[in-house]
Structure 1
Amino acid sequence: MLLRGALAAFAENGYDGTSVRELSRRLGVSHALLTARYGSKEELWFAAMEHVLSRTKSSWRRLAEDPNLDDLDVLRQGIIHQVVFSAAHPELVRIMTHEGAIESPRMHYLFEYVIGPLRLPLERRLNRLIAAGRIRPVPYTTLHYLVVQGSGALYASPVESALLGAPQPAGADDVRRHAETVADIIVTGLSAPH
């Protein structure tokens, strides 16, 4: 509960715009409790991010390293997984937007903890698909931003998505349909003849 509330605050105000005192008021706990449990605002940020990212990181890794799955199936299932995860944790896309724009130890942590370690097994799958002529060549960074930030924007930007007519809040069926549509568009686009 504390870590989820901290994520929401960091997503709303950014790291620099969030104070531990404000967090303690918002979460209904004492400043002393947050300081005793996490030590500093930065350690609280790291704990909150690790809490939310640990499950998706292990899911992505299992998927990327599963020898029984076809490479194209891994790509499609991974995209669906990411969209569903982004819908469950829209604050993460907002935080990544804040952190990705500035040089900080927090962005380096995200890269070293999640982004970098997952890149190698996923890139291996993509390279095999490209070498086999099953998909067109695509820079990994292009695919990364389409999947991680592009597909999650529907949930990270609720005001804009409501103005566009998206259901608010989105139910599980709506999220799944959106995830499958995103996956189908990306996979079909990559698989189309050059």
Structure 2
Amino acid sequence: MVRAAAARGRGRPRAGEGLDLAHLLRGALDAFAESGYDGTSVRELARRLGVSHALLTARFGSKEGLWFAAMEHALTLIEPAWRDSAQSPELDDLVVLRNAIIEQVLFSAAYPQVLRIMNHEGAIDSPRVRFVIERFANPLRPGVEALLSRLVDAGRIRDVPYATLHYLAVAGGGALYANPVEAALLGAPVHPDTDTVRAHAETVADVLIAGISAAPPPAR
């Protein structure tokens, strides 16, 4: 320990050294979800997280840089579910689609901030909303569309516009967790356990699949 400290030299630690990055980015998601981009101050966020404003600036460059990093931190967790939906030849295509929808809803339960943030950002053209579309949605879209095309060509689902399916799965399935006060007033549990969240995700997937199916949905 002494040798390592001596090698580093005296003075303040380098920007970001010893920083719990996941905790910081989760806190940033919370702040942007609560107040929106314009209503979030990096200085106030630094106080909230117990780090210096200078450290955040050195690590992320700007408030927008922090926003990008926070959203990337979250969205990379759901990215594999949709990417793998185009690369699962061992599974029935309709089962693959159902599984991806379930994973999307489970993600929304774990990171409800993302949908709240996109509710702020989705109505206004900005580099932030374009970042989400260009970094995550557009690269995944060809694979998902190929999966949907196979199902349409096989006569198993109706030809549904891509945006319609996107919003039904993402916003429709995740709204229960993005809007917890409204959901509680409608009778949803305030602190749902894992089984309850899973049951909701499966129900969303089954209703969605049944709605677009040209034939009965597959057995689980």
TM-score bin, normalised by smaller chain: over 0.9
- The partner residue of 1:112 within 125, 134, 157 is 134
Matched, 1:151 2:173: yes
Could you tell me how far apart the structure 1 residues matched to 2:86 and 2:193 are? 27
Q: Which residue of 2 aligns with 1:19?
A: 41
Aligned to 1:151, what secondary structure does the other structure show? Answer: helix
Matched, 1:138 2:160: yes
Residue range with higher mean Cα deviation, 149-158 or 47-56: 47-56
Tell me, yes or no, if the aligned pair for 2:85 and 2:147 is still in contact at 8 Å: no
Could you tell me how far apart the structure 1 residues matched to 2:175 and 2:41 are? 26
TM-score calculated relative to the size of structure 1: 0.96
Hey, which of these two has a bigger chunk of helix by percent?
Answer: 1
* Contiguous gaps of at least 5 residues in structure 2: 1-22, 216-220
How many residue pairs get matched?
A: 193
Opposite residue 99 of structure 1, the aligned amino acid is E
Q: Which residue of 1 aligns with 2:110?
A: 88
Could you tell me how far apart the structure 2 residues matched to 1:191 and 1:8 are? 37
Could you tell me how far apart the structure 2 residues matched to 1:180 and 1:55 are? 19
Could you tell me how far apart the structure 2 residues matched to 1:90 and 1:23 are? 19
Q: Which residue of 2 aligns with 1:36?
A: 58
Could you tell me how far apart the structure 1 residues matched to 2:92 and 2:146 are? 12
Could you tell me how far apart the structure 1 residues matched to 2:55 and 2:149 are? 48
User: What is the Cα deviation at residue 39 of structure 1?
Assistant: 1.2
- The partner residue of 1:61 within 83, 102, 106 is 83
Two-structure CA RMSD over aligned residues (Å) = 1.1
Aligned to 2:76, what secondary structure does the other structure show? Answer: helix
Equivalent pairs: percent with the same residue?
66
Q: Which residue of 1 aligns with 2:94?
A: 72
Matched, 1:162 2:184: yes
Opposite residue 104 of structure 1, the aligned amino acid is S
Larger Rg: 2
Opposite residue 101 of structure 1, the aligned amino acid is A
Could you tell me how far apart the structure 2 residues matched to 1:142 and 1:55 are? 23
TM-score calculated relative to the size of structure 2: 0.85
Aligned to 2:159, what secondary structure does the other structure show? Answer: coil
